[in-house]
Amino acid sequence: MTLEARLAVDVVARGTVAGQPVDGPLRWVAGSTHEVTAGTELRFAAGAPVPVTRGAPTDDESWLRPFAGSDQHQLLATYSLILATFLGTMGLPHVLGRFYTNSDGRAARRSAVLVLAMLGGFYVLVTLLGVLSRVYTPQLLVTGRTDAAVLLLPTAILGSGLLGALVGGLVAAGAWAAFLSTASGLLVSLASVVSTDVLPRHGRMTRRFPLATVLAGVPPTIVALVPTGLNFAEAVALVFAVAASTFCPLLVLGIWWRGLTDVGAIAGVVVGGVVSAGAVVAALAGVDVSGLGPQADWIGVLLYRPAIVSVPLAFATMALVSRFTRARRPVDAGQVLLRLHAPERLGLMRDRLDDRA
C-alpha cells in the first residue's frame, strides 16, 4: 500500500516501510509517498494529519465532492446521479412486483406512502453513516477500505464487547438479507417474464417457472463473475440509471397521459434502455474517451452518469412516437385512467363491476 502525506507528520511505525524494517518514530514530510507492506502498524498522535492512499483526495473538501467527472463537470454528474436514484427507484422491477401483493388499490396507495417514508429515512441514514464513519473510523481513509465502514462502525462506537458484536452481527445480517431480498425479487421478476413471454405456454405454469428461473439467473451470474474495475457504488448508480430510463417513463406516462400508445411505449423503453445500457457496457469495458478532444470530460461523465440524457430521451421518444401513432390510441384510455385515479369507494374498478353483475 502506498500512502501519501498531505502535511508533515510524525508517525511511530512497526513493520516494513519503503522495503526497510522499522520499529520506532519516523517523520514524513508534506507531499511525500511511502510504501507500507501489509501487517505494518502505524501510530499517529491525537490530532495529527493522517496520510491517505495514493490517488485518494488529500483534503476534506475533495472528499465532499462527487467522485465522477472533473471539476468543471461535477455538477453535471451530481444532478445526473440524483435523477437516476430518484426516478430509478420507481422503475426497479422487484419494487414494482411488491405492489401485486396488495389486496386492493387503497392498500397499494398506503404501501406507496410507507415506502416513500422508508426511502426518505434510508437516505438520511446514509448521510448519518458517512458522518459517523468519518468521526469513528478515520483509519479507513488510510487503508483505503472505506467500504468496510458499515460493518466496523458498530464496534468502533460501542466497543468490541458483547453489545458491539451483537449490533455488528445485526448490521451484517441486515445487509445480507437486503442482498438476498433484492436478488430474489429481481430473479422472480425476470423469471415471470421469461415463463410467460418467452417459453412456450404448454403445460402448467408451475412446471415452466423452474426452467425460467434458471434461464433468467444464468446470464447475470456469468456477467457478475467477470472482473471489472467498476466499484460497487458506481455499479448501483448505473443500474438505477437503466431503471429510470425504461420503466419509469412507461409508468409515469402510462398512468398520467391518455395519449400514450403501445408503439410509443415500446419505442421509448427501447431508446432509453439502449442508451443507458450502452453506457453501462462502455463503463464496464473501461472505454477510454480521452482521445475525443475537449468534449472527452463530459462524455466520460455521461458514461458513468447517463440518466440526465437517457431519461429525457426516453420520455421524448414515447411522446413523439405516440403523437405519430395516435390512431393506435385505445378508445377506452380515458375510462382506464379514471378507474386508476378514482377512489376505491366509488366502485369503478372493473373487477368489482364484474362481481356485481
**3-state DSSP of 149-183:** HHHHHHHHHHCCCHHHHHHHHHHHHHHHHHHHHHH
Please indicate, yes or no, whether residues 4 and 86 belong to a single structural domain of this protein.
no
Q: Which element (helix H / strand E) includes 24?
A: strand 20-28
105 belongs to a structural domain: no
For residues 261 and 282, give the distance between their C-alpha atoms in angstroms, rounded to a whole number.
Answer: 31
* Residue 51, all three cell numbers: 496520510
For residues 91 and 246, give the distance between their C-alpha atoms in angstroms, rounded to a whole number.
Answer: 7
158 belongs to a structural domain: no
Please indicate, yes or no, whether residues 14 and 84 belong to a single structural domain of this protein.
no
* Residue 52, all three cell numbers: 491517505
124 belongs to a structural domain: no
Helices 296-304 and 232-256: angle between axes, nearest 10 degrees:
80
187 belongs to a structural domain: no
154 belongs to a structural domain: no
Please indicate, yes or no, whether residues 334 and 284 belong to a single structural domain of this protein.
yes
Please indicate, yes or no, whether residues 84 and 1 belong to a single structural domain of this protein.
no
Residue of 60, 70, 40 whose CA lies nearest to 305: 70
317 belongs to a structural domain: yes
pLDDT tens for the chain, residues 1 to 357: 777 777 788 888 888 888 888 888 888 887 788 888 877 888 888 777 777 777 666 666 655 555 444 456 677 888 888 899 889 888 777 777 777 778 777 788 888 888 888 888 888 888 898 888 888 887 787 776 777 888 888 888 888 888 888 988 898 898 888 888 878 878 887 888 888 888 877 767 677 888 888 888 888 888 777 766 566 667 778 888 999 999 899 999 998 998 999 999 999 999 999 999 888 788 777 676 665 656 667 777 788 889 999 999 999 999 999 999 999 988 888 888 888 777 777 766 655 444 444
Please indicate, yes or no, whether residues 265 and 338 belong to a single structural domain of this protein.
yes
* Residue 292, all three cell numbers: 475525443
Q: Which domain holds residue 20?
A: 1-47
Question: CB under 8 Å to 207, separation ≥6 — which residues?
Answer: none
Q: Please state the domain count of the chain.
A: 2
239 belongs to a structural domain: yes
Cβ(80)–Cβ(305) below 8 Å: yes
DSSP, residue by residue, 44-84: E-TTPPPPEETTS-SSHHHHTS-SSS-GGGHHHHHHHHHHH
Side chain identity, residue 231 = N
Please indicate, yes or no, whether residues 87 and 30 belong to a single structural domain of this protein.
no
How many CA atoms lie within 13 Å of 298's alpha carbon, on the beta-carbon side?
A: 9
354 belongs to a structural domain: yes
Residue 106: CB atoms within 10 Å: 12
Please indicate, yes or no, whether residues 254 and 329 belong to a single structural domain of this protein.
yes
